[in-house]
Structure 1
Amino acid sequence: MFNQKKIVGYFPFLLIALSSFVMILPQWLGRDVIFGSDSIFHYNRFYDAAMQIKSLNLNYFISIYGFQQSGRIVNALYGPFFAYFQGILVLLSKNWFGYQLLSRFVLGLFAGNSMYALLREVKVRGTIALALAIFYLTTFSIQYWSIRQGFSSWGAALMPYCLIPMIRLIFQDKIEVIRLAVSVALMLQVHVLSALFLVMMYVPFYLYGLMKSSAKLKILGQTTLSVVLAVLLTLNIWTALIFLRQDNLLLDPFVNPLMGKHTINQASSYWLTRPQFLFVLFIAQLGYFLFYWKKVAKWEWVLAITYFLFFFLSTSYFPWQDLVDRGVKFAELIQFPFRFFIPTTVLLIVLAGRALTSFQQRQWLLSFLLSLAVIGAMVETSQYATQQAEKAHRNEYVLKKSKHVYLFDDYQQTRASLFDVDKRKLLRVIQKATPDYVPVYGDLTGKNTYKLYAQQIIFPNSQFKKSVTNHQLSVEWTAQAGEKVSIPIFVYTGSQLTLNGVKLMSSDYQLSEIGVPLVTSQQGMNKLVLTYQAPLIFTVSLVMTSLAWLGIFLTSRLHFKKLTSKA
C-alpha cells in the first residue's frame, strides 16, 4: 500500500524534477548546442576524470586524458572530488550533447531542492517556497552554467542548503557540528570562490546568533569542532595546495583589467534583469522594507543587511577598478564582481519568501500570481537559451573563434563531434589555450602565456602519439640521433620523466618558461613516460579525507533509516 504522507512529502522534489526537465526540453527536442566561453576548460577537466574512472588509470594530480594529455595539473586545485562526480555524469552520457542535458537537469535538481530546503527552514509557506525554489532555476545564477558553462552555478546550486546551519543557529541557539562542517567542506570540494562567499555570508549570521545566545561558550566549542571536521573533510585540498605552491611557481588565473565594467550596473546587468521577474522582486523587496520595516524581525534585518552588502559588492560603486589597478590580490582573485550577485540572488529570494508569507490574507491569490510569474520566467529563460543556440547555428559556430580558441575542423564536423560517442573528438577539434596553474620557470615579463601554451602544447601535439598505461602518460615520436625535441607536456616539481627506459634527472633536460621539456632523442622511435610522485603526506591526507566522508555518509544513512522507521 502507498503511504499517502510519504507521497505528499515527495511532491516538492517531483515538481522540481519536472520543472528541471521542462527547462532542458527545448534543447533536447531541438538538438540545440549551447557552448560558452568556459566550456572547453571544464569539459577537459571532466573528460580527464571520466576516462580515469573508466580505465581505472587514476592519477589525482596530472591530466593524462584531458588538456592535450599534457600532464597539466588542474583538478587537484579545482574542486577535485566534484570533478570526479562530473566525470561520472560524462560516463553516463552517450555524448557531449547528452552531458549538457544531464548536467543541466542535475544542476536544476540540486538548486531547486537546496532553495526549497532553505525557504522551509526560514518558515516560508509551502506553496510559496516551492514556487520560489522553481523560480531559482531560471535565474542567471543557475543558468550561467547552461549559457556559458560558468562553474559558479554549481556553487550557487548548493549555497542555499549550506546556509541552513546559520539559520538553525539563530532559531535553535546551537551549532550542528556535522551539518556546518559538511556545508563548508562540500562547497570547498565544489568551488573555492563559492566557499569564500559562503563564509562571508556566515559572518553576520554567526555574530548575531552568538550575541543573542545565552550559551556562548557552548557555541564556540561547537564551532571549533566544526572547523576541525571541515578541515579533515578538505584535507586533500589543503595539502595539495600547500605542497604544490611550496614546490612550484604556478601561473595564476588571469587578472581582469576591466573589473569595473563586469558589474551588474554596467555590462553585466543581465544578472539582475534575466529573468525580468527577478528585477520585479528586487523592486518589490525595496518597497516592502520601506513600508513594513517595523514588522521586520531582528534576524531578518541581519539577512537584509547581508543581502545589501553583497548587492553593493556586485556593483561598480564598490571601487573594484581602483583595487585591481593597485594590484590588490583579493580583487584579482574575484576577477568578475558580478559573481557577488549569486549570494545576492539567494538572499533576495529568501527575503521575498518571508515577505510573501507575512501577508495573511488572500494567500491563494498570491500563490496563483507567483506561479504565473514563475511559469513566465521559465518560458523567458528557455527562449533565451534557444535564441543563443539559434544564433550560433545561424552564424555557423559552436564556440566562437577568438585569439585563444583554435578550431581544427569546419562547423558541420565540429557540431557533429558533440553527438559522437567518441568524446575525444570535440576536445581535438576545439582547443583553447587557458594556461591556469601551469608551472613557471624564468621571467614571463612581456610574454603572452596564452600564446606560449598554444605554441608549445596545442600546435605540436599532433606530431606525437600519446597513450596511458598503469597510471602513466606515454609520449612517442620519431627523430634523428641527438636531435633536440620539445615534448608537449608540462613538468612540475614532482613530475618524473623516463626516456627510452632511462629515468631522467633534472640536468638531463631543459625546461621552457612554462615547464615544457626539451630532451635529446635517440635514432628512430623514442618513448617518454611521465608520472607524478605525490609526497607521502598527501597520500595520508587523501585517505583521511576519504574515510571522513565515508563516515559522514554512513552516519547520515543510519540517521535517515531511524527517521523513516519512526515515520
Structure 2
Amino acid sequence: MFTQEKLQKYLPLSLIGLVSLGLILPQWLGQDVILGSDSIFHYNRFYDAAMQIKNGNISYFISIYGFQQSGRIVNALYGPFFAYFQGLLVLISKNWFGYQLLSRFVLHLFAGLSMFSLLRAAKIRLPISLSLAIFYLTTFSVQYWSIRQGFSSWGAALMSYCLIPIIQLIFEHKVNSVRMALAVALMLQVHVLSALFLVLIYIPFYLYSFVKSSAKLALIWQTFLAVVLAIFLTLNIWAALIFLRQDNKLLDPFINPLMQQNTIDGTATYWLNRPSFLLVLFIIHIFLTLLHWRKITGWEKVAFVTYLGFLLLSTSFFPWQYLLDSGVKFAELIQFPFRFFIPATVLLLLLVGRLLNNLTKSTKLLTLALSIGLVFSMFQVSQFALKKVESADKGQYVLKNSKHVYLFEDYQATRSSLFDSDKSKLLQAVQKATPDYLPIYNDLTGKNTYVLYAHQLILPNVSIEKTLVNNQLTLTWSSRQDQLEALPVVKYERTKLFLNGKELSKGDYQLSELGAVTVQAKKGLNQLMVTYQEPKLFTISLWLTIGTWLITLVFLYFPFIKLTSKG
C-alpha cells in the first residue's frame, strides 16, 4: 500500500524516468541517429576511455584508442573523471546507436532529478517542482546534447543539483562545506565552463548571505573549508593543467570571430523558443515579478538580478565583439554567448517555481496550464528531432561534409557503422580535424591548424598500422629504403619514442608545428613505440584526488550508514 510518504518518494523518480524514456522513444522506434557538429570529437574521447577500461590499459594523458590513435592529449584537460563515466556508458552499449539512446536517457534522468531536488530544496510544492523539473528536460539547454552533442548539456543537467548548497545557505544561514565542495568539484570534473557559471551564481548569493549573517567569522571559516576540500577533490585537474602548460605550449580551442551573432537574439534564437512554452514562462515571470516585487524575498531579488545578468550575457546587447577585438581572454574563452542561457534557464525555473508556489488560490488552474505546456513542449521537441533526422535521410548524410569533416565511407556504410558492435568503424568512417590542446612547436601565423591536423594526423593513417603492443601504442610501417618518415603521432614534452627498440633523443626526430613526428626509418619493417611519462607528483595528486572523493562520500553518507546498521 502506497502511503503519502512513499508516493512523494517514488513518484518523482518514476515520472521523470517515464518522461525520459518517452523523449527517446521516437528515436528508438525509428532507429534513427542524429550526429551533430561536436559528436565525433566527444565520441572519440569516450571511445578512448571505454577501450582503456575494457582492456585494463589506463592511459590518463595520451589517447591510445581514440583520435586516430595519435597520442594526443584531450581527456586529461576536459572532464577527465566524467570521460571515464561516459566510457562506461559506451562500453555497456551494443553500438553507437545504443550509446546515443542510453546517454540521452541518463542525461534526462540527471537533469530532471537535479532540477526537482533544487526546487524542493527551495521549498516549492511537489506538483510545481515535478512539473517544472519535467519541463526542464524539453529545454534546449538539455536537448543540446541530443541535437548537436553539445557537451554543455551535461553541465546543465547537473547545475541545478550543484546549486542546492547555496539554497541551503539561504535557508540555514551556514555553509555546508562538504556539500558545497562536492558541488563545485563535481562540475569541474564534468565541464569547466559550467563550473565557472556555477561559481558566478554562487558569488551574489554568498555576498547577500554574508551581509545578512550575524556569524560572519563562522561563515568565512566554513567557506574556507569548502574551498580547501574542493581543491583536493580536483587536484587531478589542476596538476595536469600545471604540468602540461609548464612543459608545453598548447593550442587553445578556437576563438570565435562571430561571437556577436551566436546569441539568443541572433542566430541562436532556438535556445529561447524551443520549446515555445519557455518563452511563455519568460514573459509570465517578468510580469508577475514586477507585479509582486514588494512581496518577493531578498534572496529571490538577488536570484532575479543574477538571472538578468546571465540573460544579458547571452544576448548581443552585451559588447562581446568589442571585448573580443580588444583581446580580452574571458571573451575568447566563452566562444558562444548563448551558453550563458543555460544558467539563466535554471534560475528562471527556480524563480518561476517560487512565484507559482505563492499562488495558492490558483493551484488547479496552474496544474492544468503546466500540464498543457508540458505536453506541447514534449511534442515540439520530438518534432524538432524528427526534422533533423528527415533532413539527414533526404540529404543522404550521417554527418554533413564540411571543410573540417572527412568522410572515408559512403552514406550506407557510414550509417551501418552506427549499428555495428565494432565502434571503431564509425570513428574510421567519419573523422574530424579538431586540433585543441595539441603542442605548438613553430610559429602558426597565417596557418590553418585544422588543415594542418588533417594533413599531419588524419590522412597519413592510410599507410600506417597502429596497434597496442604490450599495452603500448605502436606504429608499424614498411619503408622501401632508408628515409625520413612523417608519422601521424603527436609528441609532447614527456612523450617517449622508441624506434625499432631504441629510445630516441631530441636529435633523432623532427617535429611539425603541431608536434607530428618525423623519424629516420630503415629499409623494411619499422616500429615506433609511443609512451607518456607521467610526473610522479601528478600520480600522487591523482591518488590524493581519488582518496579524497572516497573519504568525503563516506563522511557525507556516514549518518545513513550508521542508521541502517542499527536496523
Q: Mark the CA change 1:374 to 1:566 in structure 2 (over 3 Å): closer, same or farther.
A: farther
Map of 1:523-538 to 2, 5 A cutoff?
Answer: 523-538=523-538
Q: Name the counterpart of 2:457.
A: 457
The answer to whether structure 1 residue 27 and structure 2 residue 47 are counterparts is no
Map of 1:76-115 to 2, 5 A cutoff?
Answer: 76-115=76-115
Q: Name the counterpart of 2:367.
A: 367
**Which shows bigger deviation, 321-330 or 270-279?**
321-330
Equivalent residue letter for 1:119? L
Cα distance in 2 for residues equivalent to 1:107 and 1:246: 35
C-alpha displacement of 1:290: 1.8
Map of 1:119-138 to 2, 5 A cutoff?
Answer: 119-138=119-138
**Which shows bigger deviation, 466-475 or 223-232?**
466-475
Equivalent residue letter for 1:552? T
Q: Name the counterpart of 1:432.
A: 432
C-alpha displacement of 1:243: 0.8
1:284-341 Cα distance to aligned partner (Å, 9 max, x none): 0110112111111111000100000000000111100111112211100000000000
Q: Secondary structure of 1:488's partner?
A: strand
Q: Name the counterpart of 1:393.
A: 393
Equivalent residue letter for 2:443? D
1:489-515 Cα distance to aligned partner (Å, 9 max, x none): 000000000000001101110101110
TM-score (norm 2): 0.98
Equivalent residue letter for 2:189? Q
Q: Name the counterpart of 1:483.
A: 483
Q: Mark the CA change 1:17 to 1:201 in structure 2 (over 3 Å): closer, same or farther.
A: same
C-alpha displacement of 1:123: 1.1
1:338-388 Cα distance to aligned partner (Å, 9 max, x none): 000000000000111111111011312211221121111111111111111
Cα distance in 2 for residues equivalent to 1:305 and 1:566: 47
Cα distance in 2 for residues equivalent to 1:3 and 1:566: 24
Equivalent residue letter for 2:256? N
C-alpha displacement of 1:394: 1.2
Contact 2:178 2:556 in 1 (8 A): no
1:505-527 Cα distance to aligned partner (Å, 9 max, x none): 01110101110111011121100
Q: Mark the CA change 1:287 to 1:2 in structure 2 (over 3 Å): closer, same or farther.
A: closer
C-alpha displacement of 1:4: 6.8
Contact 2:495 2:530 in 1 (8 A): yes
1:401-458 Cα distance to aligned partner (Å, 9 max, x none): 0000000111111111000000000000000000000010010111111000000111
Contact 1:32 1:390 in 2 (8 A): no
Map of 1:504-523 to 2, 5 A cutoff?
Answer: 504-523=504-523
Equivalent residue letter for 2:438? V
Q: Name the counterpart of 2:448.
A: 448
Q: Secondary structure of 2:475's partner?
A: strand
Equivalent residue letter for 1:242? I
1:510-554 Cα distance to aligned partner (Å, 9 max, x none): 101110111011121100000000110000000000111111232
Cα distance in 2 for residues equivalent to 1:64 and 1:559: 42
Cα distance in 1 for residues equivalent to 2:375 and 2:353: 17
Equivalent residue letter for 1:196? L
C-alpha displacement of 1:564: 6.1
C-alpha displacement of 1:464: 0.7
C-alpha displacement of 1:472: 1.5
Contact 1:310 1:343 in 2 (8 A): yes
Q: Secondary structure of 1:554's partner?
A: helix
Q: Name the counterpart of 2:345.
A: 345
C-alpha displacement of 1:481: 3.9
Cα distance in 1 for residues equivalent to 2:566 and 2:257: 58
CA RMSD between the two structures: 1.3
The answer to whether structure 1 residue 284 and structure 2 residue 297 are counterparts is no
Q: Secondary structure of 1:496's partner?
A: strand
Equivalent residue letter for 2:514? I
Cα distance in 2 for residues equivalent to 1:350 and 1:521: 63
Q: Secondary structure of 1:525's partner?
A: strand
Q: Name the counterpart of 1:262.
A: 262
Q: Name the counterpart of 1:174.
A: 174
Q: Mark the CA change 1:250 to 1:116 in structure 2 (over 3 Å): closer, same or farther.
A: same
Q: Secondary structure of 1:331's partner?
A: helix
1:188-226 Cα distance to aligned partner (Å, 9 max, x none): 000000000000000000000111011110010010001
Equivalent residue letter for 1:112? G
TM-score (norm 1): 0.98
Q: Name the counterpart of 2:191.
A: 191
**Which shows bigger deviation, 554-563 or 421-430?**
554-563
Cα distance in 2 for residues equivalent to 1:21 and 1:563: 34
C-alpha displacement of 1:79: 0.2
Contact 2:232 2:544 in 1 (8 A): yes
C-alpha displacement of 1:7: 4.9
C-alpha displacement of 1:558: 3.1
Equivalent residue letter for 2:313? L
Q: Secondary structure of 2:260's partner?
A: helix
How many percent identity over aligned positions? 62
Structure 1, unmatched stretches of 5+, are none
Q: Secondary structure of 1:259's partner?
A: coil
Q: Mark the CA change 1:377 to 1:240 in structure 2 (over 3 Å): closer, same or farther.
A: same
Q: Name the counterpart of 1:214.
A: 214
1:87-131 Cα distance to aligned partner (Å, 9 max, x none): 000001000000000000000000000000000111111001000
Cα distance in 2 for residues equivalent to 1:47 and 1:556: 32
Q: Name the counterpart of 1:325.
A: 325
1:163-199 Cα distance to aligned partner (Å, 9 max, x none): 1111111110100011000000000000000000000
Q: Secondary structure of 2:277's partner?
A: helix
Equivalent residue letter for 1:298? G
Q: Secondary structure of 1:303's partner?
A: helix
1:244-300 Cα distance to aligned partner (Å, 9 max, x none): 001101000000000000011111111011100000000001101121111111110
Equivalent residue letter for 1:447? K
Q: Mark the CA change 1:563 to 1:335 in structure 2 (over 3 Å): closer, same or farther.
A: farther
Contact 1:57 1:468 in 2 (8 A): no
Cα distance in 2 for residues equivalent to 1:197 and 1:486: 42
Equivalent residue letter for 1:184? V
Contact 1:57 1:470 in 2 (8 A): no
Structure 2, unmatched stretches of 5+, are none
The answer to whether structure 1 residue 382 and structure 2 residue 382 are counterparts is yes
**Which shows bigger deviation, 21-30 or 321-330?**
321-330
C-alpha displacement of 1:565: 7.4
Cα distance in 2 for residues equivalent to 1:325 and 1:68: 35
Q: Secondary structure of 1:485's partner?
A: strand
Cα distance in 2 for residues equivalent to 1:422 and 1:12: 37
Cα distance in 2 for residues equivalent to 1:25 and 1:227: 42
**Which shows bigger deviation, 309-318 or 3-12?**
3-12
Cα distance in 2 for residues equivalent to 1:254 and 1:22: 37
Q: Name the counterpart of 1:503.
A: 503
Equivalent residue letter for 2:489? I
Equivalent residue letter for 2:98? G
Q: Name the counterpart of 2:408.
A: 408
Q: Secondary structure of 2:492's partner?
A: coil
Equivalent residue letter for 1:382? S
C-alpha displacement of 1:555: 2.8
**Which shows bigger deviation, 127-136 or 516-525?**
516-525
Contact 1:471 1:531 in 2 (8 A): no
The answer to whether structure 1 residue 74 and structure 2 residue 108 are counterparts is no
Cα distance in 1 for residues equivalent to 2:557 and 2:287: 45
Q: Name the counterpart of 2:10.
A: 10
Contact 1:165 1:180 in 2 (8 A): yes
C-alpha displacement of 1:390: 1.2
Q: Name the counterpart of 1:315.
A: 315
